[in-house]
Amino acid sequence: MPRESMSVWRLEFPQPPGWRVEWLGPYTSHWLTAEAEEIVRYMEAEHRVTHPHPRDPGIFESYPGDDRLSCGCASRSLLEQWFGDYLPRLLAQGAHVTHYSVPAAAVVEDSPEQVLFITRMATVVERTGHEAPTPMIRSSAGSRTSIIAASGGTYDFEAS
């Protein structure tokens, strides 16, 4: 019997009231604390090398607007593995862990590493976290890619 839905865990940052999207993952978040911005910059550079990408690199362009995709993990422990030492630091900067119930019809890709799903079709089961310790600022999410590309995709980041 095919499953009707699955649980997906995702790391997200709140976006300002009235923003187009209420919650975004750290890789695409437009609003972060200054410290979270630095953490995400290093994490993203590392993950471009060490973490798998979706099988189809253009998949996100295939689901625009209201059908946009989100990435998550099939369990909380897989989410913790994905983010590793970055997770507690991002949680300290206002990130939240969100547990979603995702209907099977909304799952676009389900691999051992990550689940891609149509965001609007998922239901929040629980969201845990706390407010950021400093004000959120407009992040350079759009420009991080060019910074990483210019650096050869690596940074010398060390968790303190």
**Per-residue pLDDT at 159 exceeds 80:** no
pTM for this entry: 0.83
Query: 156 pLDDT band (50/70/90 cuts)?
Result: very low
- Mean pLDDT within 93-111: 96
State the pLDDT at residue 158: 45
Task: Identify whether the C-beta of residue 54 lies closer than 8 Å to the C-beta of residue 116.
Answer: yes
Task: Identify whether the C-beta of residue 11 lies closer than 8 Å to the C-beta of residue 97.
Answer: yes
Q: In angstroms, rounded to a whole number, what is the distance separating the alpha carbons of residues 156 and 113?
A: 25
Task: Identify whether the C-beta of residue 160 lies closer than 8 Å to the C-beta of residue 85.
Answer: no
State the pLDDT at residue 69: 93
Q: Which of 17-26, 48-57, 105-114 has the lowest mean pLDDT?
A: 48-57
**Per-residue pLDDT at 62 exceeds 80:** yes
63: alpha, beta or left? (left if phi > 0; alpha if psi -120 to 50): beta
Q: In angstroms, rounded to a whole number, what is the distance separating the alpha carbons of residues 12 and 2?
A: 29
Stated length of the chain: 160
Which runs of consecutive H residues, i.e. helices, occur in 51-118? 76-83, 86-92
Among 157, 75, 87, residue whose Cα is nearest residue 112:
75
